[in-house]
Amino acid sequence: MHTGNRTKADWYPEHAFIILTLQRLTRLSSQNGLSDTDIQKALPTTDDRHSTHSRSGITWESEKTFQPPDNQTHLRSLQSYRGDRSPERVAYMEKNSILTRKSLGVSIEQVSVFLCSDNTVVSFFEHSGDVIEEPILKRLNSPETILRRSGDASLLVHSIIDAITDLAIPIVATYEKSIAELEMDVLTEPAIGHSKALYILTSELSMLRQQMQPIASLINSLRDHYNTTQFLNRSPSPASPIPNLARRGAGPATPKTQTQSSVTISPAAHTYLGDVEDHCIMIIASLDQMRTQSDNMISLIFNTMGAYQNESMQQLTFVTTLFLPLTFLSGYFGMNFEEFPPLKNTHMFFWWLALPITFGMVVILLTNDVAKIKHRLTTSTTAVAKIKHRSSATAVTLVTMSLCTSIRVLTHSKPITVLSDSLYIL
């Protein structure tokens, strides 16, 4: 069986053939100390957080690679799902993945479903059939569930697709937590290693989105088939002679095509498939948001490192400017002249010349910076003065209003309006 097909839904006269991918969060080994509850909640353990050098759990010297659980050694990772990729690239990307540092991984497998016209569903899973089957069997064993009472095969197909979509939610939650932890590292201590991790993360998010977007299109195809079936099965109205005339002149009946398949999607399945489509859209939107956030963090890393480098160059420029006159004077007094009277003086003569020249050179070269500092000091002083003036004006206004209120209460007369500009200050 070929396991590299694209996600699709093919309609035949007696059945529908559905292919989609299943994305699942998987432990890399059975000795990693993580429980199934931790994986479902997508929460890294406390030991994993404190045993690394950063909040994101990235330790660049680690040699851990993608290793599936002991009982599922044939699982394919997110990087190796497509067989046309370079093995060296796949190994490097898996070794440096953020999820690998947390002893987690994303496995992908193909799921094939046959929806037959005799109300039968046949499904094929590579490895995760028990994960999908268990909750569905519980619902079938309970007589109160809609799935049990309806006896609808299309509703059973909806349950399979819904369970496959729900398995992608913990993956998205894990990536969101990893990005949040990595964001703190980028904001506090940005490094080139973070940009590599973000690039690998962006690649994984793109591949995961490429698997989820066709599932949303598949659900739309199933829902559109319901609408098409309703349209084809609608009987023409007796009051309309045109359709009857068209039917009489249409000749022999045309054979059944893929669109006219006898497989139907029930109204309940059509309704519930809309909820699954909403889940897919939310997952795709989260993946797009995380990919944009990763790109922004990569830009922030390079901008921050560029700003640090500019500050270093500015400090180096200041030191060079400070020692430039001293270097010139040292070279000048080090000349081997036959007669050089200044050399007969003490060493204080050198500093008597060097200090004023150095100070003048620094002032000349840093004129713009000195002007900026002076402008900032002037602006801050002016702002403080304005604030004090407004505070005093507000106090005078409050005192004036209280005096007018007291006079009005004592005289029991009409309100007094103060029109004097000297007392009413805004």
Give pLDDT tens digits for 370-383.
Answer: 778 777 888 877 77
* Other CB atoms within 10 A of residue 318 CB: 14
pLDDT higher than threshold 60 for residue 148: yes
- pLDDT tier for residue 226 given thresholds of 50, 70 and 90: low
The more confident residue out of 383 and 8 is 8
Q: Assess whether pLDDT exceeds 70 at residue 62.
A: no
Residues 273, 227: contact at Cβ < 8 Å?
Answer: no
Q: What is the pLDDT of residue 260?
A: 60
Q: Residue 390 has which token pair? A: 């407004």
Residue-level pLDDT at 278: 95
With bands split at pLDDT 50, 70 and 90, how would you rate the model's confidence at 85? low
CB 178 within 8 A of CB 56: yes
Length of the chain: 426
Q: Are 240 and 129 in contact (CB under 8 A)?
A: no
Question: Residue 230 gets which letter from DSSP?
Answer: H
CB 209 within 8 A of CB 284: yes
pLDDT the model gives residue 230: 58
For 248-295, the pLDDT digits (tens) are 333 333 334 444 668 888 989 999 999 999 999 999 999 999 999 999
Amino acid identity of residue 358, one-letter, is T
**Nearest 10 degrees: Cα torsion 188, 191, 193, 197:** 50
Nearest to 39 by CA among 81, 84, 102: 102
Instruction: Pick 8-28+73-231+261-310's CATH classification: 3.40.50.2300, 3.40.50.170, 1.20.58.340, 2.40.50.140.
Output: 1.20.58.340
How many other C-beta atoms are found inside a 10 Å radius of the C-beta of residue 65? 16
pLDDT band at 408 (very low <50, low <70, confident <90, very high): low
For 98, half-sphere exposure in the C-beta direction (CA atoms, 13 angstrom radius) is 31
Structure tokens that stand for 151 in this block: 């006896």
Q: What are the backbone angles phi and psi of residue 305, rounded to the nearest 5°?
A: -65, -35
Q: Which two tokens stand for residue 177?
A: 């937590």
Q: Are the C-beta atoms of residues 116 and 153 closer than 8 Å to each other?
A: yes
Are the beta carbons of 29 and 69 closer than 8 angstroms? yes
The most confident of the ranges 33-37, 212-216, 243-247, 250-254 is: 212-216
User: pLDDT-based confidence at 234, cuts 50/70/90?
Assistant: low
How confident is the model at residue 341, as a pLDDT?
A: 74
Q: Binning pLDDT at 50, 70 and 90, where does residue 49 land?
A: very low
Report whether pLDDT(213) > 70: yes
| 307, 313, 318, 320 alpha-carbon torsion, rounded to 10° | 180
Q: Is there a contact between 7 and 19 (Cβ–Cβ < 8 Å)?
A: yes
Q: Which of 24-38, 77-91, 176-190, 359-373 has the highest mean pLDDT?
A: 176-190
DSSP at 260: T
For 1-69, strand residue ranges (E) read 8-11, 15-27
Beta carbons of 110 and 4 less than 8 angstroms apart: yes
Q: What is the mean pLDDT of the chain?
A: 76
> Which residue, chain included where needed, has tokens 């009409």?
414
DSSP secondary structure string for all residues of 118-140: TS-EEEEESS-HHHHHHHHHHHH
Q: How confident is the model at residue 169, as a pLDDT?
A: 94
Token pair 């829902």: residue: 223
| 172 closest CA partner among 1, 25, 346 | 25
Beta strand segments in 38-125, E:
76-77, 104-116, 121-125
**Residues 6+ positions from 349 with CB-CB distance below 8 Å:** 342
Domain ranges of the chain: 8-28+73-231+261-310, 336-407
How far apart CA 43 and CA 184 sit, in angstroms, is: 17
